Structures are given as C-alpha cells and as structure tokens.
Amino acid sequence: MPYLGRRLLKSELDSESNNYKEFFSEKTILQNGEKLVCQRCGSQFTKCQFTLLNDTSYCPFCIQMGRCQTDNFLYQKKISKPTNWFQPDALNWKGVLNSYQEAASNQIVEMIKVNGQLLIHGVTGAGKTEMLFKGLEYAFKQELRVALAAPRVDVCLELYPRLLKVFPDISISLLYGKRKEVYQTSQLVICTTHQLLRFYQAFDVMIVDEIDAFPLAGNNVLAFAIKQSRKKISSQIVLTATVTKELSLELANEGYKTMIVPVRYHQKPLPVPELVWCWRWREKLLAKRFPSIVKEILEESREKQESYLIFCPSVEWLLKFHKQLVLQFPSVVIEKVYAKDPSREEKIQSFRGGKIDWLLTTTILERGVTFKGVNVIVVGANHRVYKTASLIQIAGRVGRSSEQPSGHVYFIHDGLTKPLVESIKVIQEMNAKGG
C-alpha cells in the first residue's frame, strides 16, 4: 500500500494504479484573485511569472519534487488504516535515561497524549533520540502514525538504523531524494522535510529534528509541508541544540512548551573550543604555504593516532586545504566530503568505521552525525559562513561517547567575530547550567 496519506502527481503513481476513480483528486494550482496558489507547497505567484509554451503555469517553488502545473491534478487514494499495527512490546531498548532526559521523555509522552506541541532544547549529545523512545512506543501502541523529519539527509541516514534496531517489529520507511526503493505504507516514516510535500493530513505525531537547520530555517515551503502533512488533530515535537531568541519567541507564540536539557546523556561537560590564531590563513593557503600552527596540531594528533573532522568554509577552500594536507601527511588516510560528493554516504561510513583518519568537510556535517572519539578543527572559523549555531553544532561533534567524553575542538582564525565569541559563551553557560 504505497498511497496511505500520500498526495501525488499522476506521474508519481505506478502503472498499475490507473483506476483514478479510486482516488480523490484536486487541481494542483488554484487561482486566488490575481495570484496562483500551489496546493502542494502553498506558494503564491502570478501567471505571467512562470508560464509554459502551451500557456499553462507551473509552480517553481517545489519543482524539484515533480512539476505542478495548472492543467494537472494531485491524487489521494481512499485507503483505510492497516489493521496489523498494534505491537504491545514495541520497544527493544534497555538503556537508562538521566534525570533531565527522563523529564523530557515524560513530557514528550504527555504532549502526544494531549495533541500538544513541544520544543526540546537539548545540548549537542544530550541523547535526544533516546528521549523519543517512550513517546514513540506510546504512539505505536495507540496505532498512531508518526513522521520523524529532518532538513538534512545525513540525519535521516543516522536515525534509520538506530530506530530499526530499537523498534524491530514496527514498519519503518526511509525517504529522501536519492532513495530508489518504492515507498510502502509504514507506521513510522523517517524522511527529509522535502518529502513531507508528498503527504497530506497523514500523521498523528510529527517530530522534526534540527528545526533550526538549513534548508528548513526560514523556508516557507518546508514549513507548509510540515503543517499540511499533519492531521488536523495531532501533536508536534521539535528538537534542536541551538535555539535563537527569534525561534524561541516564534514557537512560544504558537503555543509550544519548552523543555531544556543542559547536559549530555553521560553528564560530562561539553568540550569548550580553543581559539587558535593563524595570521592570514587565506593567503597562506592560496600561496600553498601550509599553516604552521595547524601542522603542529595535526603532527601531535598523528603521533596519538587521533581521528579528526576538519571543517572548511566552502568547497573551494576544502579542495585547496585537502591538496596541501595530503602532501604534508602522505602516510595518513585523508578524505574529503561535501554536499554533491557522489560517494558522500560511503565516505561517512568509512570514517565512522575507522578506515579514514582525517575527514575534511563543509558545514554539511555540522550536525546530526555522530563519530566516536573524534576531534575537530575548524579552518577559518571567523569566515562569514560560520554562524553561532554552526560553531556550537560543530563543537558538539566532540565527546559524544561515554567511553571518550572529551576531545579537542580548535577554532583556527585570524580575527575574532561575534559568532566565535558567542558560541564559546553559550557552551560555557550550558556547562554551568548542567552543573
């Protein structure tokens, strides 16, 4: 049953589903005064802006999901809920939550019971996924349908195997742009926020991880997708480690309750980044002169056989730094990964498995991924691409394992910026709150 709760274009229906009388249908684009309104993503535009040669208009805002145009329809099949979803003992997990996690976990269950809205503001490595387990178990026992969405595919790829392991008898689907498997109706859908555009009033429980992350933050299309994929009576849980004042106020105005989890699951302090001065790091890389201070750090690391996640401000700088790094350390296994890297998933798994010593990356790995025992270097940490939230998230890659709860975080810079100062201040404040 690939269609429960889905609202799809004709081109997205399989060839066997050609009896359109079994579907509700509606125009993909409706007219509202002088504006056209896309029914899939909620965007508004004028007819003259986006018109094809046959005089039909199309929506450019969700075109990556297939083209919605004025002469086609969205289809939704009339299907009843599956009868085999009840699982009395769904959760296969024997872990123990700390007191902060327990309080947040109980609040999640309560919000699902009353169809409420909740923000979980937990530090990086707080164990937010584990806090969801009891809430998910309650939802599954009530035969509720759950979406767990995140803006970035790397987060989804990490969540999927973890949840398969702790809920082995629950039907779970993974959806993202490059996934080739045919979707089948499941009780839990783990997906990128873009994939929610293909659902309509489908979910009793909506969970959004990394609510403040790109490309979700400030994106009206994705905000609409989240809203329209929920049932009219439903609960919503959002999670993040980095809450701005603006986001906090926005959620409060929408009726969200807030739970703060100021400690990591192992209750050890967050690693505080060390500011490392590197005069004219850009010019040195352009002149193919490897920064001596970075070389010193990495030489010491090589002797201790430490793994490093090395962040660069752009793909351009990543390629320059990688080229010089390989020349400086020929015996070290060094790789690079970025958003459009076709081997992205394989390289991340190789680094996680210890087959790569140092992995260079961009901000694509700033959040939502866990590597045991990793250390971090941020090259050009004063670059404009690094906002306060980004630096906090990057620092949060370190010390996430209870066996290795500490590590090194180096912010390489040639001039202090507001995000550099603020990120360290926030980390220190969270450590103080957690005792």
- Residue from 42, 45, 44 nearest 229 by CA: 42
Quick: pLDDT tens for 167-177.
Answer: 999 999 999 98
Mean of pLDDT values over 94-120? 97
Mean of pLDDT values over 162-184? 90
- Ranges 37-46, 282-291, 415-424: which has the least confidence: 282-291
pLDDT of amino acid 184: 84
Quick: pLDDT tens for 45-72.
Answer: 988 788 887 889 999 999 999 999 999 9
CA dist 192 to 2, 40, 238, Å? 18, 16, 14
Mean of pLDDT values over 154-177? 94
Q: Is the pLDDT of residue 129 over 60?
A: yes
For 376, the 3-state DSSP assignment is: strand
The mean of the pLDDT values for the chain is: 92
Cα–Cα distance for residue pair 265/249, rounded to 1 Å: 27
What are phi and psi for residue 75, nearest 5 degrees? -115, 135
Q: Is the pLDDT of residue 17 over 60?
A: no
pLDDT of amino acid 2: 67
- Residue from 47, 221, 152 nearest 393 by CA: 152
pLDDT of amino acid 285: 84
Domains in the chain with CATH codes: 3-79 (no CATH), 99-261 (3.40.50.300), 274-434 (3.40.50.300)
Tell me which H or E stretch contains 257.
strand 257-261
Q: Is the pLDDT of residue 85 over 80?
A: no
pLDDT of amino acid 383: 96
Packing angle of the helix pair 153-166, 344-352 (nearest 10 deg): 50
Task: Pick the more confident residue, 392 or 18.
Answer: 392
CA atoms within 13 A on the CB side of 31: 8
Cα 133 vs. chain centroid, distance in angstroms? 18
Answer yes or no: are the C-beta atoms of 175 and 191 closer than 8 Å.
yes
- Ranges 8-22, 83-97, 200-214, 344-358: which has the least confidence: 8-22
Mean of pLDDT values over 406-434? 95
Q: Which residues lie below 8 Å from residue 93, measured CB to CB, with a gap of 6+? A: 130, 133, 166
Task: Pick the more confident residue, 178 or 273.
Answer: 273
Q: Is the pLDDT of residue 234 over 60?
A: yes
